[in-house]
Amino acid sequence: MRSEMKLAAVAVVAVLGSTMAAQAQSMVAPVVTSGMYQPSYSAWDGFYVGAQGSLIGMKSHEIAPGILVGEQLLGDIGGSAGVFAGYRYQLNDWLVLGLDAEVNNVATQFEFNGATNYGALKWDAAVRATLGYPVAPNVLAYGTVGYSWGRFDFTPSRGVDTAFTAGGFQLGLGVDMMVTQNLMARLNATWTHYGVNNVPGGGTSEPSNQVVRAGLAWKF
Which of 197, 177, 157 lies closest to 65 in space, CA to CA?
157
Q: Whole-angstrom Cα distance, residue 55 to residue 107?
A: 10
| CATH C-level class of 46-219 | mainly beta
Q: Whole-angstrom Cα distance, residue 42 to residue 125?
A: 29
Q: Whole-angstrom Cα distance, residue 167 to residue 207?
A: 10
Q: Whole-angstrom Cα distance, residue 62 to residue 69?
A: 7
In our burial notation (b when 16+ CB lie closer than 10 A, e otherwise), range 144-174 reads bebebbbebbbeebbeeebeeebbbebebeb
Task: State pTM to two decimals.
Answer: 0.77
Poorest-pLDDT segment among 13-17, 93-97, 199-203: 13-17
Which of 200, 209, 210, 206 lies closest to 62 in space, CA to CA?
206
The reported pLDDT for the residue numbered 68 is 54
Q: Whole-angstrom Cα distance, residue 162 to residue 8?
A: 104
List pLDDT tens digits, range 142-185. Answer: 999 999 999 999 887 777 788 999 999 999 999 999 999 999 99
List pLDDT tens digits, range 100-154. Answer: 999 999 988 887 666 677 888 999 999 999 999 999 999 999 999 999 999 999 8
List pLDDT tens digits, range 31-90. Answer: 544 444 444 557 899 999 999 999 999 888 888 766 655 566 677 788 999 999 999 999
List pLDDT tens digits, range 15-45. Answer: 455 555 455 454 444 454 444 444 455 789 9
